[in-house]
Amino acid sequence: MSYQKLSRDQIAQRVAQDIPDGAYVNLGIGLPTKIASYLPNDKDIFLHSENGCWPLVLLQLQVKKILN
Q: Note whether 31 and 12 are within 8 A (CB).
A: yes
Percentage of the chain modeled with pLDDT above 90: 37
Is the residue at 31 inside a domain? yes
Q: Note whether 25 and 37 are within 8 A (CB).
A: no
Residues 41, 50, 66, 67: which is the catalytic one? 50
Q: Which comes out higher in pLDDT, residue 23 or 54?
A: 23
Name the domain count of the chain.
1
- Mean residue pLDDT of the chain comes to 80
pTM: 0.66
d(CA 30, CA 44): 23
Active-site annotation holds for 20: no
The confidence score (pLDDT) of residue 18 equals: 95
| Residue-range definition of the domain harbouring residue 60 | 8-67
Is the residue at 3 inside a domain? no
Q: Note whether 17 and 40 are within 8 A (CB).
A: yes
Continuous H helices in 1-68: 8-18, 31-34, 54-67
The confidence score (pLDDT) of residue 42 equals: 92
Is the residue at 24 inside a domain? yes
Q: Tell whether the model's pLDDT for residue 31 goes beyond 70.
A: yes
Q: Tell whether the model's pLDDT for residue 38 goes beyond 80.
A: yes
The confidence score (pLDDT) of residue 53 equals: 57
